[in-house]
Amino acid sequence: MVNQPWALPRLVVAAPASGHGKTTLATGLLAALRRRGLTVSPHKVGPDYIDPGYHALAAGRPGRNLDPWLVGEERIAPLLRHGAGVPTPADVAIVEGVMGLHDGAVGRGAYASTAHVARLIDAPVLLVLDTTAQGRSAAALVLGMRAFDPGVRIGGVVLNRVGSPRHETLLRDALAEVGVPVLGAVTRAVEVAAPARHLGLVPVAERAPESLAVVAALADLIESTVDLDAVLDLARTAPPLTAPAWDPVTAVGGPAGGHRPVVALAGGPAFTFSYAETAELLAAAGATVARFDPLRDPALPAGTRAVVIGGGFPEVHAEALTGNTALRAELADFDGPVVAECAGLLYLGTALDGVPMCGRLAHTARMTGRLTLGYREAVAATDSPPHRAGDPVRGHEFHRTVTDPGHGDRPAWRWDGTGHGFVDGRVHASYLHTHWAGQPLAARRLVEAASR
């Protein structure tokens, strides 16, 4: 099936702007459709790690990202097909958008926008609309959203935060005038929300019982307010996917060696940020991927030859991390290759907000009131296990901390005319988040380094 056209029902949940209810609708749809016995495949436009955690909980399979900036637009449809095909073929795919429908990478028009991804996967759009303090003008807004890019097909609207039955009737009548069907209406009285903090929603891994309750409540909400049959009918209007599925083995060129070195991949509540394809690429390159939780595990997995520590919220768990002294000491002395992004960078330093960390790298870190956020075009500044100096990489930053110093004598990256991050021995650490589907040879190089 991977090379044959696949009639995968699919749709994109979008909105005119952030805060209209995309995550509520997408997560609730996933959970409600799963309750019907359907196999649902969850996806998220953009680099965000947190929403896919809720999607995964609702769908019962990994939430996956579709970000043209990070992986290249040519891989978006193949990655959708891969994600919808494993571990079993999905009956329907739900893709949650990012920001407003037409908001792309700054200075690059629609590139990496929800509309861009909807076009790349040839999927209809279900628009969720916050109708607070809005009447008939809602139809003009939807009409403008539809006309702005004729290549994007808005197939229906879900009204959110509706004030009363009369308000709902007014909105439905106005949208009927412009020929856009209303597939659901959620009143202000029955809204469900997950708790948030300084970088968005609280990750699922940090509050599993509460997260299960939120997802169940969202399923109840969508079942009672949205016409699921109409949503499925809309998803079935998507034409067959013709692009072949992305394949991690092909991407890395097969196993890098004759044996399978253990690559330890950090997880748990403090390190929740990891794309599903990272582990798949490491395994395809010949590694045995072993998970560990720096909050609870007193040692690295047996036989560990390399370590990957992604992003997350170490600042929230600093006391528990510092209390795991045995693991901190092991990481301080570990001489194998290490790749650390953002939270991993903070954890490998000497201290975070004055709380001792691993001390593998000679920097301190502290929280600030300033959010650093955005896509980056970087060049590897120094040879390291995952990258050769001069390699171009696209990534993103998302943090409220700073390190002192800001980079080492051998920086990991350069962009905007300055160095960023640290390369120290076989350690590569920085704030930059990358998606290895966009540079799969990083996984292969790491496994090769671990084999040596």
Which residues carry out catalysis?
342
- The residue among 446, 346, 314 whose CA lies nearest residue 387 is 446
Phi and psi for 290 in degrees, rounded to 5? Answer: -120, 130
- Tell me how far apart the alpha carbons of residues 231 and 10 are, in angstroms, rounded to a whole number: 10
Task: Determine whether 145 is exposed, middle or buried from the number of CB atoms within 10 Å of its CB (0-12, 13-18, 19+).
Answer: buried
Q: Which two tokens stand for residue 84?
A: 């919808």
Contact 106, 375 (CB under 8 A): yes
Checking DSSP bridges between strand 418-420 and strand 422-424, what pairing results, if any?
unpaired
Give the closest residue to 93 by CA, choosing from 128, 129, 55.
Answer: 55
**Which residues, 6+ apart, have CB-to-CB distance to 399 below 8 Å?**
199, 342, 371, 372, 431
Quote the CA–CA distance of 191 and 89 in Å, as a whole number: 32
* Secondary structure letter of residue 204 according to DSSP: G
The alpha carbon torsion through 213, 216, 217, 218 (nearest 10 deg) reads 120
Neighbours of 400 (CB within 10 A): 15
C-beta separation of 435 from 70 below 8 A: yes
